[in-house]
Structure 1
Amino acid sequence: MKIGVIGTGNMGRILTEAFIDGGTVLPEDLMITNRTLAKALPLQEVYSGLNVGVDAKAVAEHSDLIFICVKPHDVYHVISSIQNQLTHDKCVVSITSPISIKQLESIVPCSAARAIPSITNRALAGVSLLSYGDRCNEKWKVNLKALFASISAPVEIEENITRVASDIVSCGPAFYSYLTQRFITAAVNETEIDQETATKLAGEMLIGLGELLRKGYYTLPTLQEKVCVKGGITGEGIKVLESELGDVFEQVFKATHAKFADDLDLMKKQYTF
């Protein structure tokens, strides 16, 4: 199977690196391109044998499975430019949430799917979100699930939870990175610990927390119970969090969904759905 990646920005690059490092895709079976071609060439220096196409048409011609990794408002134009290369047996995959799988399927003559990755996939970890078009060949469903299983835990989702699932899986690492950075900064400001030590401790704590959850030793509630001993120091900290956080996370989801609604309105101008 030949795989193509059109767009080597943050997520296009991460997918390229993860697919190869995951061991299921050989560099020579992968072709990438970017509107500014110079941004794709550095990957070829890292992975010997990786192909760089001169444009999107070259990638689509060469590939059986084609990932469109560009901004939402550019997806329609990219797909329009490669229509002649999209034979019935191929599959086009969008990685952006504002474009529904029905909208994508309405403009391609082949199988269509959506795969929303996470930056955690670069470490061959985390979750990827999969959705398939009504005409998507069963072969491609199997192939996509296997491909993403090599770099993540793939989860098939319905259209109605696309945004919130993306908030948790794809935006979540940025949200929690921000919270952790604030946690570190507060420690440095309020105590004698230095930035480097606080950052190392916080990073290793997060890795350990992830392992506890991954291995199933605790759930989030039972973990809190184990650490938060009645009358102890952790409990005092939890009281502050309960008091100060309020509905901050509810507001986060309201904000992301409001922006998503704006994006959906823009996409309706390009698609028939």
Structure 2
Amino acid sequence: MDCAGVIGYGHMGRMLVKGFLSSGALSPGEVVVASRSRESRDACAAAWPEIDVAETNRELARRCRTIILAVRPQEIREVLREIVPVLDGDEHIVSLAAGVSLGDLEALYPGPVTRVIPTITSTVGQGTTLVCHGQRVGTDDARRVEEVFSSIGDVMPVREEDLAAATLLSSCGPGLLAAIIEELAGATARASGLPPDRALLLATEMVAGTAAYLRETGRVPGDLVGEVATGGGVTEVGVAVLRERLPGVFDGMVAAMLERCGAVGK
């Protein structure tokens, strides 16, 4: 992959730089980082002394063939207006911003643009990064971006019209699941003498084990329910309560989140 620039060194920028370099997908000489925060630039230089840290976004843009925008959605347009004047037009812009469409990006930059939605679980090399390429992205550019992001987990190309829904599962999902783990552990601790910290540990390990079981056996969740929830047993009672109450809860949650997706980045 040609020299890749990362504009923004917050949580997401740090995760990407660490993942790309630690996996060997990119060498230090192939990465340039820029951030408006002096503190962030110093932190990057301290963590990765062999990579280049640009003083300005424009300096990075002049040097990189692939430019990853790891800034907040509200900052995307400002950053593009800043760097586009120094671009040749064949640089590949990769935006991580939710709520900023390909059309929004292409209105500001006439070259190839791609939307990428990573997930926090990529910090540990797990999870799925969503990729949506604009019409001006060639086969080689698409392949290079997908290859480098595959170094931090799985990559799934999606249509832009499906991106919001897919983001709820891949990127928002870890936060939702963490809240469910917390609530399950808390309810168990409140109803018993089990210490809260042990309940949380058991719930966390249970979720990790369940995900591994489904992935490695190829079974679907309904299969697992059938294997665990024997007739008249404890699990069957719990599953029945969930089947009765959760559909409405989740339908409301997803509707609210999709509505919010439409407002992000505006």
Taking the aligned partners of 2:48 and 2:202, their CA distance within structure 1 comes to: 33
Number of the residue aligned with 2:262: 261
Aligned length: 265
Alignment of 1:46-61 (within 5 A): 46-61=47-62
Aligned to 1:241: 242
Structure 1: which 5+ residue stretches go unaligned? 267-273
| Alignment pair present for 1:205 and 2:180 | no
> Equivalent pairs: percent with the same residue?
25
Cα distance in 2 for partners of 1:215, 1:86 equals 46
Q: Cα gap change, 1:188/1:251 in structure 2, threshold over 3 Å: closer, same or farther? A: same
- Alpha-carbon distance, 1:99 to partner: 1.3
Residue 82 of structure 1 aligns to which amino acid in structure 2?
I
Q: Secondary structure at the match of 1:213?
A: helix
Match of 1:65 in 2: 66
Q: Name the CA distance, whole Å, in 2 between partners of 1:178 and 1:40.
A: 33
- Structure 1: which amino acid aligns with 2:104? Q
Contact persistence 2:98–2:264 (CA under 8 A) = no
Q: Relative to structure 1, is the Cα distance of residues 64 and 189 closer, same or farther in structure 2, using a 3 angstrom cutoff?
A: same
2:46 paired residue number: 45
Q: 5 Å matches for 1:110-189?
A: 110-189=111-190
Distance 1:61 1:38 in 2: 23
Contact map agreement 1:22 1:124 (CA 8 A) in 2:
no
Deviation for aligned residue 1:219: 1.2
For 1:228 and 1:153, the matched residues in 2 are separated by 32
Deviations 1:202-229 (A, max 9, x none): 2221221121122234211111111111
In the other structure, the counterpart of 1:269 is none
Deviations 1:41-87 (A, max 9, x none): 32332233122221211221221111111121210110110113322
Shift of 1:4: 0.9
| Contact map agreement 2:131 2:156 (CA 8 A) in 1 | yes
Query: Counterpart of 2:90?
Result: 89
Work out whether residues 86 and 110 of structure 1, in 8 Å CA contact, stay in contact via their aligned partners in 2. no
Return the offset for 1:246: 4.3
Corresponding residue SS for 1:262? coil
SS at 2:171's partner residue?
helix
Unaligned stretches of 5+ in structure 2? none
TM-superposed deviation, 1:33: 2.1
Name the counterpart of 2:110.
Answer: 109
Deviations 1:150-178 (A, max 9, x none): 22211111121111111111000000001
Give the superposition deviation at 1:239: 2.0
- State the TM-score, normalizing by the size of structure 2: 0.93
> CA–CA distance in 1 between the matches of 2:186 and 2:51?
41
1 CA distance for matches of 2:239 and 2:38?
A: 50
In the alignment, the residues of structure 2 paired with residue 247 and residue 112 of structure 1 have an alpha-carbon distance, to the nearest angstrom, of 38
Q: If the length of structure 1 is used for normalisation, what is the TM-score? A: 0.91
RMSD of Structure 2 on Structure 1 (CA)? 1.7
